[in-house]
Structure 1
């Protein structure tokens, strides 16, 4: 496992759950207080501990464990790492507090939505509420010389937070999945996706004069061109999917149209490993679900 030093205050590494490379980035933010951004799923707990150790950080030195949201690939291992980081507190969205302290609904919902992939990720462990900090929009964690500020960015999930640190942002899934080899990001829109909120979140982030973007999927990059590209991608996908819904096409038929029209998309689908299988199909179905719910309001 290679530890990458992005700058004097930020380390990152490829978590490689079940050996899958370039899927989940773990970030370690260095200041007077040390912060772990994302944990990955429960199945990669040993990899997470190995990465922290290789970074030269003792588990007891970690002060904050901060997911962007609580989907299993981002925080399924939160309870496991909290058990061994005895001095750490977890900082999560207010809507996530009840789920991570009492995992029954969280786990059953994950099984319903992800099926076998949820079983691959493995079951989370609960975190005592006494060790959880609830982060309202605008919440700031004082780390020392810098702060970590919460910007609520719903759309992908109602409990999604983009974490701002100086002129950089840990964006989770709010800006989609970034593929370095083609320098493009594509939407990731699960079953309870809200298109209106997703666009609002992208626009809100675009107004912050950010210089760097730290994707969970996958890796750090300059913010140059990011917001224009992904906003256009979300809007283009929605237009194609709306037309497909109007024509009563299946999600697979709509995905095939996207493959033919969106350069590089098919390549990324082929590249996806066991955890990401059917990711793009699931995103199509998430957008279809939003369209149908909106149509039912009319």
Structure 2
């Protein structure tokens, strides 16, 4: 059964793998031009397409915040099945949407768990994949969409601000908000190759737009966007400085995980929920990315 919910002119579609809920979301904006933000993983394309059919919608515009498999994996399928649609992608990511073979090979080397979870993307028509410039705007009816380049999580990352609601679709540029047993928990999204200074600069850049709502792909649409952006800066600094100190003390990786666990209540709550996909697919990989960044001298 397809799971989706309505928020003003948007639908939030759950595209989480393994019959889990509330980890990966795709968003549909209802306007003169139907706009789909975050196609989600290839393995879950059926969920997304079923939602489109149930809602009797055909996307005109497809937007992915970046080309990682859990965000853009279904782009090629959407372009194939909706031949009048076009996709907007960060300029550095366009080639990977057109031909995802290099992306797929890199993903296999990075994590077998994630490639098995998210599935293999298919190529896209290069004439229908459009590079989105920083600050560029498009009009889709009564809504205006602004593209904001926000690297740090990935060099090919952009966030999207939709007006007039001022919803910030932050992808992975400003952390994740999961609801576990009715409690909202916030964690940063920092898998390798994480660039911490750029990540923090991107959050500051997003703050300048004073968004009202924040919609991280992981997961949903939330009020108090500025609170979460500030929390992103605070939490990133906590993790970075904790890991830096742990490495200085020559602690092993299990001890580093434990140090984060003891200092970050949200991380502790998420780990204690014992959702294997969440722990291994997000939390541990985010800490691994911070460890590598510090070892590479990206945070001193």
Same fold (TM over 0.5): yes
**Which residue in the other structure is 1:188 paired with?**
189
User: Map of 1:158-173 to 2, 5 A cutoff?
Assistant: 158-166=155-163, 167-173=166-172
1:258 pairs with one of 253, 257, 260: 260
Call closer, same or farther: CA 1:80–1:275 in 2, change over 3 Å: farther
Contact 1:39 1:75 in 2 (8 A): yes
Which aligned runs of 4 or more in structure 1 are off by greater than 6 angstroms? Answer: none
Using the alignment, how far apart are the partners of 2:50 and 2:273 within structure 1? 26
**Which residue in the other structure is 2:247 paired with?**
245
Instruction: Give the alignment's TM-score, normalised by structure 2.
Output: 0.92
Using the alignment, how far apart are the partners of 1:264 and 1:290 within structure 2? 22
Calculate the aligned-residue CA RMSD, in Å. Answer: 1.8
Using the alignment, how far apart are the partners of 1:131 and 1:249 within structure 2? 49
1:40 deviates by 1.2
In structure 2, list runs of 5 or more residues that go unmatched: none
**Which residue in the other structure is 1:176 paired with?**
175
User: Map of 1:1-298 to 2, 5 A cutoff?
Assistant: 1-7=2-8, 9-57=9-57, 61-166=58-163, 167-180=166-179, 181-222=182-223, 223=225, 225-271=227-273, 273=275, 275-278=277-280, 279-294=282-297
Q: How many equivalent residue pairs?
A: 293
Bigger mean CA offset, 258-267 vs 269-278: 269-278
| Residues 242-293 of structure 1, C-alpha deviations (whole Å, 9 max, x = no match) | 1011112222211111111111312212446454342222111111111121
In structure 1, list runs of 5 or more residues that go unmatched: none
Using the alignment, how far apart are the partners of 2:279 and 2:286 within structure 1? 12
Call closer, same or farther: CA 1:230–1:184 in 2, change over 3 Å: farther
Instruction: Give the alignment's TM-score, normalised by structure 1.
Output: 0.93
Contact 2:185 2:270 in 1 (8 A): no
Matched residue of 1:225: which SS? helix
Contact 1:17 1:47 in 2 (8 A): no
1:119 deviates by 2.2
1:13 deviates by 2.0
